[in-house]
């Protein structure tokens, strides 16, 4: 049962990722990315990371994707990437290089690390993660707020129309 759910979610995630990089229309790509983020949120649930699944839906599928869709609507007057690609040959090299990278990742990381699953992993409930964030990771957590504030100020500065 768990294997079937994993298989469905993995196919969804990979299919939507391929759709994102192959579709010409950026808005279709954004919708594919929403599907991808949602299936990763479901995978977090299967791994027992409940807090992260909720945060994924709220932060990524909610806030970040709204920003993306908004930017696409504002920016693109028509079709992008029209016309022939002057560097098509160089870009197509990405496919063999990507295959090489995948082989490297699978054999370098995954193969050394296989084994039976460990039963009874940590609970990723809101209470457990929250306790960790507010004890061991308190200082980075506070720094995050400074980072977000700096990003907000920087965006305001960039978005201001030049007088």
Partner 1 sequence: MVPESYYVTLSAVLFTIGVVGVVIRRNPLVIFMSIELMLNAANLALVAFGQRYGNLDGQAVVFFVMAVAAAEVAVGLAIIVTIFRLRRRLSVDDLSLMRW
Instruction: Report 25-44 residues binding partner 1 (CB under 8 A).
Output: 26, 29-30, 33, 36-37, 40, 43-44
Site string for partner 1, 57-96 (x = CB under 8 A): --xx--xx--xx--xx-xxx---xx---xxx---xxxxx-
Distance CA 161, CA 163 (A): 6
Nearer to partner 1 by C-beta: 92 or 163?
92
DSSP string, 96-121: HHHHHHHHHHIIIIIGGG--PPPSS-
Task: Map residue 59 onto helix, strand or coil.
Answer: helix
Q: How many residues bind partner 1 (CB under 8 A)?
A: 86
Instruction: Please report how close the Cβ of residue 163 comes to partner 1 at its closest, in angstroms.
Output: 14
Site string for partner 1, 7-26 (x = CB under 8 A): ---x--xx--xx-xx----x
Tokens 């995050």 sit on residue: 144
Nearer to partner 1 by C-beta: 121 or 163?
121
Residues 92-131 that bind partner 1 (CB under 8 A): 92-95, 97-99, 101-102, 105-106, 109-110, 113-122, 124, 128-129
| 59-68 contacts at long range (C-beta below 8 A, 24 or more positions apart) | 61/34, 61/37, 65/30, 65/33, 65/34, 65/37, 68/30, 68/33
């Amino acid at each position: 049962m768990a294997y079937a759910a994993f298989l469905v979610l993995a196919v969804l995630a990979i299919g939507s990722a391929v759709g994102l990089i192959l579709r010409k229309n950026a808005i279709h790509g954004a919708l594919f990315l929403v599907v991808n983020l949602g299936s990763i949120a479901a995978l977090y649930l299967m791994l027992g990371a409940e807090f992260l699944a909720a945060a994924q839906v709220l932060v990524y599928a909610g806030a970040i994707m709204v920003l993306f869709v908004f930017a696409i609507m504002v920016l693109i007057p028509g079709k992008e990437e029209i016309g022939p690609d002057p560097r098509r040959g160089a870009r197509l090299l990405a496919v063999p290089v990507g295959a090489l990278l995948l082989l490297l990742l699978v054999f370098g990381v995954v193969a050394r690390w296989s084994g039976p699953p460990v039963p009874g992993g940590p609970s990723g409930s809101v209470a457990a993660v929250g306790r960790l964030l507010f004890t061991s990771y308190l200082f980075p957590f506070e720094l995050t707020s400074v980072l977000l504030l700096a990003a907000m100020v920087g965006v305001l500065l960039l978005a201001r129309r030049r007088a």
